[in-house]
């Protein structure tokens, strides 16, 4: 049991670090190192009693050496300042690798979720009002729970979570916190998350009723699914569906019984993620990008009706971190499905190609394109003779 002088318990809620992640072949390790340093500075200012990390520490079950070293530095820095650190594994993590050395790390105040074995013993911290019990429940599938409780109904994710919670022997007279990594029904997803077919991984929020606060990981958008049930979101934007989100850390303060206050502290990345739109001439004009961070991670949407030759390489002379280039024009806005073959025997090859081009692109070939096709077909014909 650990005692504190602080009147009220305060925790910092993080999740989904995805250390080692690559986006469109861009390594995010430098950005992740930067944001973890910023989180450390916020922790210095806020002085939480515990830092809770609700899963997906790494982006892969077998993380890179860089990713492991980065997380090691984060743990050492925060544990060295007397903060307790509570960590669970997510669906991207290997639970065995996350759990390794857990009993030794507890000496330094780092608590790692063990591989699920049907029992979840709380980590108990104390403030002036008494005990706060933290239950570290790693990402679970019904099969994980069914293995230890074969006689109980665990067909769905909700069944599995309810069964796992029922066997925790929760003391309702104290404040209880669940740290877990699941998808709660009704929450909003982002494009950067793994999606289960048909929403089979949905969990009803009612299963979390025994807890004063549920610190969730898994979804990348910061959001409350119900009072006291919260996704803190990722510390960085990991897809262009997140460009309008303000990333943050969640600070939770507990009262005598229950949560007294939940608030967020904004995070400011090394490189933001943005979408810019315009014609090629517009987005390359100095008036367009003057005063902006041209080294942000960008999706560029060009509105030109014709493709710009070597557009990506030319744009990267101004915007070096373009992750995605696309077009928004008549061709891309109108879909077309070819339902029958044209009468090829009645059409010259150039006209046949022109007909296909127009149906595919919703626009006719230009004179320059037609001339190029004619010359190419003549050249091919000469080589065949």
pLDDT digits (tens, 9 = 90+) for 152-182: 989 999 999 999 999 998 999 999 999 999 9
| pLDDT one digit per residue (tens) for the chain, 385 residues | 444 445 789 999 999 999 999 999 899 999 999 999 999 999 999 999 999 999 999 999 999 999 999 999 999 999 989 899 999 999 999 999 999 998 899 999 999 999 999 999 999 999 999 999 999 999 999 999 999 999 998 999 999 999 999 999 899 999 999 999 999 998 888 777 665 544 568 999 999 999 999 999 999 999 999 999 999 999 999 999 999 999 999 999 999 989 999 999 999 999 999 999 999 999 999 999 999 999 999 999 999 998 899 999 999 999 999 999 999 998 888 755 555 555 555 677 888 888 887 766 767 888 888 888 888 887 776 655 5
Give the separation between CA 144 and CA 96, rounded to whole angstroms. Answer: 14
- Give the pair of three-digit tokens for residue 286: 């100095």
Q: Are 236 and 187 in contact (CB under 8 A)?
A: no
Give the separation between CA 207 and CA 157, rounded to whole angstroms. Answer: 11
Site of tokens 């002088």: 5
What share of the chain in percent tops pLDDT 70? 91
Q: All domains of the chain, ordered by start, with CATH?
A: 10-266 (3.60.21.10), 273-333 (no CATH), 344-384 (no CATH)
Q: What CA–CA distances, in Å, run from 155 to 140, 180, 203, 239?
A: 13, 19, 12, 32
Q: How many angstroms from the chain centroid is the CA of residue 244?
A: 14
Q: Are 239 and 192 in contact (CB under 8 A)?
A: yes
Give the separation between CA 379 and CA 301, rounded to whole angstroms. Answer: 36
Radius of gyration over every alpha carbon of the chain, rounded to an integer in angstroms: 27
- Whether pTM > 0.75 for this model: the answer is yes
């Amino acid at each position: 049991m650990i005692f504190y002088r602080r009147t009220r318990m305060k925790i910092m809620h993080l999740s989904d670090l995805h250390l080692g992640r690559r986006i469109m072949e861009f390594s995010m390790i430098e950005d992740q190192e930067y944001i973890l340093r910023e989180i450390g500075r916020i922790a210095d200012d806020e002085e939480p009693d515990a830092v809770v990390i609700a899963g997906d520490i790494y982006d892969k079950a077998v993380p890179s050496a860089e990713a492991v070293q980065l997380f090691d530095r984060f743990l050492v820095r925060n544990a060295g300042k007397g903060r307790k650190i509570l960590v669970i594994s997510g669906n991207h993590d290997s639970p065995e690798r996350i759990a390794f050395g857990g009993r030794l790390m507890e000496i330094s105040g780092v608590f790692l979720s063990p591989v699920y074995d049907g029992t979840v013993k709380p980590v108990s911290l104390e403030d002036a009002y008494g005990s706060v019990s933290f239950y570290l429940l790693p990402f679970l599938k019904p099969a994980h729970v069914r293995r230890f409780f074969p006689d109980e109904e665990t067909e769905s994710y909700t069944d599995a979570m309810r069964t796992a919670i029922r066997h925790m022997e929760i003391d309702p007279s104290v404040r209880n916190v669940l740290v877990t990594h699941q998808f709660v029904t009704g929450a909003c997803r982002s494009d950067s998350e793994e999606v289960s077919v048909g929403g089979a991984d949905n969990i009803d929020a009612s299963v979390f009723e025994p807890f004063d606060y549920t610190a969730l990981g898994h979804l990348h958008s910061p959001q409350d699914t119900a009072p006291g049930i919260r996704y803190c979101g990722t510390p960085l934007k990991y897809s262009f569906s997140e460009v309008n989100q303000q990333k943050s850390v969640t600070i939770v303060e507990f009262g005598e019984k229950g949560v007294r206050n939940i608030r967020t502290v904004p995070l400011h990345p090394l490189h933001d993620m943005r979408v810019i739109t315009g014609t090629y001439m517009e987005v390359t004009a100095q008036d367009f990008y003057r005063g902006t961070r041209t080294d942000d991670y960008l999706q560029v949407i060009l509105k030109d009706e014709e493709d710009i030759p070597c557009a990506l390489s030319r744009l990267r002379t101004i915007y070096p971190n373009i992750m995605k280039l696309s077009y928004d024009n008549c061709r891309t806005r109108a879909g077309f499905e070819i339902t029958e073959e044209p009468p090829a025997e009645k059409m010259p090859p150039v006209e046949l190609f022109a007909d296909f081009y127009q149906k595919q692109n919703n626009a006719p070939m230009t004179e320059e394109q037609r001339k190029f096709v004619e010359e190419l077909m003549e050249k091919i014909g000469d080589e065949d003779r």
